[in-house]
Each structure stands twice: as structure tokens, then as C-alpha cells.
A = this chain, B = another copy of it.
Amino acid sequence: MTCRTDKNNINLLGHSEQNIRLERLKALMAEAAIERALIRDNANIYYLTGRVFRGYIYIDIALERPLYFVRQPKHLHCEADSCLFFIRKPEEIANILSENNIERQSPVALELDAINFSEALRLSSCFGQTPEKNLSPLLRQSRAIKTLREQDMLRASGVKQSFVYGRLPRYFREGMTDIEFQIEIERASRLEGCLGQFRVAGGDMELFMGNVLTGDNGDNPSPYDFAMGGEGADPSLPVGANGTVIRPSKPVMVDVNGNYNGYMTDMTRMYISGNIPPEVEHANNVSIEICNSLAAMMKPGVKASELYNKALEIATAAGLADNFMGHNSHAGFVGHGCGIEVNELPVLAPRSRDVLAEGNVIAVEPKFVIPGIGAVGIENTYIVHKQAPAEVITTAPTEITTLD
């Protein structure tokens, strides 16, 4: 069924799986009047081949198969019906195309939201052009709808992440700081197979392995566009744990890396030592209620903005409007697509124009910051199917886990 047994095959997806992704992208290209494209962002190369290599994938809607132009590594090869060329630099591509009689005059679309300005100029000049057509939105759209294989990868990631979360109480010791607790969670995740790497689209958002927030640090805003903030351990990476000692009855929010196979699930759970203050219990219950309500609504055709509004409505009815998605500073969304990268489509935000489709994988994270207490809330990742409710793939228990 797949070519995975041959680990030097450039296409680790196998023909049929690759074709599903390629045909979807080509259909979007045709719609956008784009005849050909050159892809070189690691996340997109992984999407189209199941591996990361240094080089380019050339797609022409008139050609059945993609052409591979590889800089590194040199030991790759491809199926008999495809073509792979080893190159030293992208300037060789146009010549190779013309030698193989696959010349065209039409603009070559590039990933203009992913590659830097200088590289975009260089790549388009390889074809005697200037950058014009942007392939990034098409890839985002294509990747937002996960194939059955991708859904399986995400389910597998969710199982492992849930297993690790279930074991967290054994890593807690009284008097620990948030950073010390996070380090033990990182180790447990890694031992379970977490790859550690946290792929994020764009160069703005930076994070190391995830976010553990306790006490007042939950109210420290961060420059990054994550749902929650935190001061961080250093001004060079101002997000997340900051060395706060985990105190009894202070909630601990754990939102740690779910990348076990190249696809990321996103899950948050609450932990606490000692008594659970009623406000914390309440906020966590409201968060669970929002997740369940949104899951019950999530099906093809539903507007992402409706889901956000529903979440805000429930939070407001519960008296938590001022605490919803932050207190000193508020995140502008309650959920986001995830997969190869953690910030995919659709985005559940008030002004989002995204509409849900079958195969979307969406992390829903209704979180609250309560001054003097901390950050509270859960996050689940869901697969959108033909019928509601959406399937939850982050299955750790949603209630607050005690750490004693």
C-alpha cells in the first residue's frame, strides 16, 4: 500500500495518498488560474512527500506527476513514472525543464507567505519572472482538510499525548517551580516519542515545547499570538513558565507539545495540588461546556465565527466574559486548525470568514485568566466529520487532576 519500506524513495506517502493531496492542490491552482508552482517550504514539502528534503517540488497542472529538484540529501530516488533531478542551485531548474520540453511562459506561483523576499526574487528570476502568484493561501486551504491518513496520524499523536498527560501527577513534587515541572513533562513526552519540534507557520511565534502556567504568571501578556501568555524564563523568549513556585490550590495549566509523528495535536489540561478553589472548578467546567457545545456544532458548512460567538456567549452567561481568553490581554480567537503546523486553518475568531469542512482538524481552547488565581481551561483537538459532533482525539480526562 505504501512505499515506506523503501526509505530512500523521495515520496514516502505512496502514490495514492500523494495523489489525493496533489489533486486537491491542483484543483485549487486551476481555480486560481495558476498553471505551475514551485514549492520549497519544509512544511509543504513534508505535506506533499511525507519527508523533508532540501530542494523544490515543481507542479504543473498539465503534468500527472510532480518533478523533484533535490539539493540534499543525494541518496534519494523516485518512482519510475516521476522525475528527480539533483541540483546545486535553483538556477538550474529552468534549463532542466527546457531540456525536458516542459517549457511554459506562465507565471510560476511561489509560497510568498513562507519564503523571504530575497529568495522569492531569486526563485522567480530563475524563470525570468518577478514574483506574482502566491501559492501559500492554496496550500493553507489544501492542508486544512486532512486526508484519512493525516487524520490517523493525528489520532496516533493524540493517544500518545493523552497517555503522557495521564502520567503527569507522578512527576510533581511539592515546592517545584513551573519550569521544573515543565522539564519533567518535556522528558516524559520525549520518552514517549514526542519529536520536540514545534512547527509554526511564519517567523513570529516562538515557543519551546509548550506552556506551563501557574498563579499570577497566567496574567502576564506575551508578544506572541498564542491563546495564553506568561512572562517566560528570559526576555529573549517571553512566553510561558517564569520560575513561579507551584503553590497549593493554585491551578497549573499544562499545554505541552503534541508532535509525535510530524502531526501535532494540541491539548491543555488543568492540574492542582491541595483544594480546588470553586472559581477554578467553575471556570474549568465552563471551558468543558464550551468544548462540548462547539463539538456538537462542528460540521461542514458551519461558520468559524459562529463557533467563536457561541463560546463567548457561554462564557458570558457563566459570568466569565472579562476573563475569556485572557484578562490583562485577550487573545482574539478560541480555536485554530492544527496539523503539520500549529497555526493552520480554520481560525475560530469573531471576524473569521472560514467555513468548516469535512476533514478539518481544530483545536478548541476556551481559557480564562482569573486575577489572583491564574489561568484555567482545557483544550481539545477535534476532527470534523460529515455529521456533528466532531470527534475528539485528545482523550485525557477533562476534569482537574489533583497532584497530591
Residues of A bordering B, CB below 8 Å:
7, 12, 41-42, 46, 50-55, 71-75, 110, 112-120, 131, 134, 136, 179-180, 183-184, 186-187, 190-191, 193, 195-197, 199, 202-204, 206, 208-209, 221-225, 229, 233-238, 261-262, 328-329, 340
Q: A120 to chain B: which residues have CB within 8 Å?
A: 116-117
12 additional A-B residue pairs with CB within 8 Å, beyond A53-B223, A113-B117, A235-B262:
A46-B236, A52-B236, A54-B224, A72-B222, A117-B131, A179-B190, A186-B190, A186-B196, A193-B233, A195-B208, A195-B233, A195-B237
Inter-subunit contact B52/A223 (CB<8 Å)? yes
Q: Find A197's partner among B51, B53, B208 (CB 8 Å cutoff).
A: B208
Q: A199 to chain B: which residues have CB within 8 Å?
A: 206
Q: Find A112's partner among B118, B196, B229 (CB 8 Å cutoff).
A: B118
A236-B42 Cα distance, complex, nearest whole Å: 9
* Distance of A229 from chain B, by nearest CB (Å): 8
Q: A110 to chain B: which residues have CB within 8 Å?
A: 117
Inter-subunit contact B112/A114 (CB<8 Å)? no
Q: A224 to chain B: which residues have CB within 8 Å?
A: 54, 72
Q: A190 to chain B: which residues have CB within 8 Å?
A: 179, 183, 186
Q: A329 to chain B: which residues have CB within 8 Å?
A: 72-74
Q: A42 to chain B: which residues have CB within 8 Å?
A: 203-204, 206
Inter-subunit contact A52/B261 (CB<8 Å)? no
A72-B330 Cα distance, complex, nearest whole Å: 11
Inter-subunit contact A221/B72 (CB<8 Å)? yes
Q: A221 to chain B: which residues have CB within 8 Å?
A: 72-75
Interface centre among A136, A209, A225 (most CB of B within 10 A): A209
The contact sample of 18 A-B pairs, CB cut-off 8 A, is: A7-B235, A41-B203, A46-B235, A51-B235, A54-B204, A54-B223, A72-B225, A73-B222, A110-B117, A112-B116, A113-B116, A115-B116, A118-B134, A179-B190, A186-B187, A197-B206, A235-B262, A236-B261
